[in-house]
Amino acid sequence: MTETCPTPSEIESVIRNVPDFPKPGIQFKDITPLLADARLFSGCIDLLTDHFKPGTVDAVVGIDARGFIFAAAAAVKLQAGFVPIRKKGKLPYQTHEQEYELEYGTATVAVHIDALKPGSRVLLLDDLLATGGTAAAAAALVQRLGAHILEISFLIELSFLHGREKLKGYPVRSLVVY
Ligand code: AMP
């Protein structure tokens, strides 16, 4: 960890709340000001990875799309591979798919069938935990490949949506909790 590691309240102070985006009633947590701040962005990566030593994680799995930003940087820091879980229809090779419930309708995430070796040690990352449907579907795909989830981590957790309840059985961590 660097000496200038940010505190959760410092991180929170640069997360911009955008009301009614992308639709009425949603309070969108805009992380672009955080990403633009070199010290805070790199401090977040330090905080997300600080309890894993390089060599103890085989792959950091990131969830489409903002999860990729954190997962790729964390993978480099941990000397681990990076694996994307994408929305259905985006990955070019053969995939496993997992459907999950949205407020209205369903969505599907996908992973390449050879993205992880059985038994590989995985850190699963996304920018934000809301209802937990996306992360639970991503975790199911990782399990389907026979990999082992060490932890599921988020930059932001909207705790009033109780997303953790969908991730029971996994260690879950988040840096900023609303
Ligand atoms: P959920 O499946 O409900 O936990 O939603 C998590 C996914 O939706 C994450 O990939 C987030 O990027 C995105 N998301 C959900 N709610 C918000 C929000 N209020 N602000 C920004 N992103 C959100």
- What's the mean pLDDT in 117-127? 98
% of the chain residues with pLDDT over 90: 96
Helix (H) or strand (E) holding 137: helix 133-144
**Residue 73 CA to ligand 1 centre (angstroms):** 20
Cβ neighbours of residue 23 under 8 Å, at least 6 residues apart?
Answer: none
Substitution site in 103, 104, 126, 128 for ligand 1 pocket (most atoms within 8 Å of beta carbon): 128
Q: Which residues are catalytic?
A: 66, 103
Query: What local confidence, expressed as pLDDT, does residue 104 receive?
Result: 87
Distance from Cα 130 to the centre of ligand 1, integer Å: 5
Q: Which ligand 1 atom lies nearest to the CA of residue 127?
A: 12
Contacts of 6 (CB under 8 A, 6+ apart): 39, 40, 43, 44, 47
pLDDT value of position 62: 99
Is residue 63 within 6 Å of ligand 1 at its C-beta?
A: yes
146: left (phi over 0), alpha (psi -120 to 50) or beta: left
Q: Is it the case that residue 155 has pLDDT exceeding 60?
A: yes
Work out the average pLDDT over 115-140: 98
Cα separations in angstroms, 152 against 59, 83, 176:
12, 14, 14
**Closest Cα to residue 128, out of 53, 43, 26, 56?**
26
Q: Is the CB of 32 under 6 A from ligand 1?
A: no
> Which whole number is the average pLDDT over 164-175?
98
Residue 1: band (very low, low, confident or very high) from pLDDT cuts 50, 70, 90: low
